[in-house]
Amino acid sequence: LFDCSRTIVREALTRLATRGIVTVSARRGWYVIEPSQDEAREAFEARRVIELGLLHQLKVVDKAALRQLKSHLQREKAALAGTDVGMRSFLLGDFHVCLAECLGNSLLADTLRDFTARTTLIAMLYQSSHDAAQSCADHVRIVEALEAGDIARAEALMSEHIGTCLLYTSPSPRDLST
């Protein structure tokens, strides 16, 4: 399908396994992980600590960063209007990586990339279209607060947003691992 060798596929799967996205079962194959509720909670808590820390230390956001964030929001909105749930979930999670990059911390952006990969798996399983639209609206409000120079408001909005994401991406009665 992708016109590449099995060696390249195995290397990609090994990298994904290292990042905790897939797992291998001897003689059975590779499988995308199904995070437990505890793992989902821990991933969102880690994201909250990182993202609130980034915002807390922030003094000002430059115009180029705001343009990049707004461009990302346009791609999110386009994905919401489409039918590709995977792309929608990826872009909603990638907003947080984009934010870290725009704030000038590539190391934390890489760390967030791993955490958002895990939380995106959860979102793809459990996030409704309505919840995805709400997530995008939250992102818009965060960028608006940053543009207005109201860092404290952006921080409060981010805290609320990540808490809400955990609520609507958690399964109701059953555990994710079942």
Q: What is the pLDDT of residues 75-95, one digit of tens each?
A: 999 999 998 888 888 899 899
The structure's pTM equals 0.79
What pLDDT does 76 receive?
95
> Roughly how many angstroms between the first and final C-alpha of the chain, as a whole number?
31
**How much is the average pLDDT of 30-55?**
85
**How much is the average pLDDT of 120-128?**
68
| 23, 33 Cβ separation under 8 angstroms | yes
